[in-house]
A and B are shown apart, each in its own frame.
Chain A
Amino acid sequence: MSDKKNIEHNHNEHHHHHHDHSLLPEEPELRVKAIETLLLNKGIINSDTVNELIDTYENKIGPRNGAKVVAKAWVDPEYKKRLLENATKAIEELSYTGRQGEHMVVVENTPKLHNVVVCTLCSCYPWPVLGIPPTWYKSDEYRSRTVREPRKVLQEFGLELDLNTQIKVWDSTSEMRYLVLPMRPAGTEHLSENELEGLVTRNSMIGTGLPETPK
């Protein structure tokens, strides 16, 4: 077998295909409309499915799921233990499973350690618990700078960490998806799980923020 030849052929094919998009209209809105129309007419996608997918991520799957996981871990030490030992299974207890959260790891913040999550190579993010990532998470600025200067990046989020606190940056290069378990804010002993859930912000579960404090 002439493997080398095949590989070279594939390489050229790839090279070729990676420019096909330039045949479409340049203006992004019109380009997407053209692709959508083409795919609908070819029977490759279905318009009800398109609407269902948009509705799912706009209304059903988002950071409130993650907030429920965090609040439960704050009030239930046994759950927290399960969550840190096998996050995928513990999160499945709350019925959050599947696409882009197939393999979960939860990393715990402590007074000495602060975790922050990034994906330098693309935009990997735990969809079942946090939904679709915000624009800043997908930006070149966040992707390039967080691994090299996490303290400066966190400062821009308004997060000034003690110089003695260690920062661990998690670069999501595989299908493992990371969720930060933030520290429970002081003065929340009297709050219910439901009330605590309201304090958990999206950014606190990525590591670029802290939970809110009770008013």
Chain B
Amino acid sequence: MTRIHDMGGRFGDGPIPLKKIDGKVVDDEPVFKTDWHAKAFAITVASASVGKWSIDKGRFFRESLPPKDYAKFDYYEKWSSALINLLVERGLINKNDLIEITKKAKEDNLEVSQVTDEHQNVLKAKDVAITLGRGGPSAREVIHSPKFKVGQEVRTINYSPNKNIIGGHTRLPIYARGKKGKVILHHKGHVLPDASAHDLGDSPEHLYTVEFLSTELWGDKDGNQKDSICIDLWESYLI
């Protein structure tokens, strides 16, 4: 099975939430719609340098929010809630901290105190540009040669590829499980999210882009003869 975030192909969602004037799409949304969106974004990015969780672990914590919360939360509510859960898991804050700060928040008494001992890995303003510019490349050397070639027909496995953790993180969407496709790109070795999300190391594998016919994924009636869907998949997802 899978989790609530794995929604590709799901029925029931309505029109794309677009701003339109006289039927024409208008793209003038501010980068952050509200101050708290901006703050939720920035504190998440800033905390990652201290918390030292992988990007995959960050994603796993967002998709592991209880389905009821995931469905009703705004995008940045998901970010900030997953951030808190990560910080507790990493021991950087504890439940008492949460209970105390909530009490203060409800009393309208949130005050920033003088910080005397910043964490040694705290991200400094002067390092923001260089840290963002460097990013966190996921390319890694893989010793063995690739199992598949560009042009080769492959099939995805029909269950969650995460062998280590039941209900663990994976990037094989459920709509593309057990499906036949063709390798169109080979990206060499990359960190395996299924391992990295659970502190099990990089475990790099060859990464491919596999092209699936729309009709292979959705059937002859719902699919379109012309169209295709391209998905990045790790070697252990494929047979």
Give A residues with C-beta under 8 Å from B: 7, 10-11, 13-14, 17-25, 28-54, 56-58, 61-62, 97-103, 105, 118, 120-123, 131-132, 134-136, 138-145, 147-148, 150-151, 153, 156-158, 163-176, 201-203, 209
Contacts and interface: CB of A to CB of B under 8 A. Distances in A.
A214 B47 CA distance: 45
Q: Contact residue range for chain B?
A: 35 or more
Nearest to B129: A56
A7 B122 contact: no
B123 interface: yes
Interface of B: 5-18, 23-25, 27, 29-34, 36, 38-43, 45-47, 50-51, 55, 59, 61-66, 69, 74-77, 80-89, 92-93, 95, 97-99, 101-102, 104-106, 110-113, 115, 117-119, 122-125, 128-129, 131-139, 164-167, 171-173, 175, 185, 187, 190-191, 193, 198, 207, 209, 211, 217-218, 222, 224, 226-234
Contacts of B135: 97-102
A174 B117 CA distance: 37
B46 A45 contact: yes
Given A158-B24, A173-B231, A30 B105 contact: yes
B46 A34 contact: no
Contacts of B45: 53
A49 B46 contact: yes
B80 A136 contact: no
Contacts, number: 337
Task: Give the interface SS of chain B, mostly helix, strand, loop or mixed.
Answer: mixed
A186 to B, nearest CB: 20
Residue of B27, B40, B106, B211 with most chain A CB atoms under a 10 A cut-off: B27
The 8 closest A-B pairs by CB, nearest first: A120-B8, A174-B232, A98-B135, A21-B81, A48-B125, A43-B118, A175-B138, A53-B42
29 contacts: A18-B65, A18-B66, A21-B81, A24-B101, A28-B80, A32-B43, A33-B39, A34-B101, A34-B105, A38-B101, A42-B97, A45-B46, A50-B39, A54-B32, A58-B31, A99-B132, A140-B13, A145-B13, A156-B15, A156-B16, A156-B18, A164-B226, A166-B227, A169-B228, A173-B232, A174-B138, A174-B187, A174-B207, A176-B209
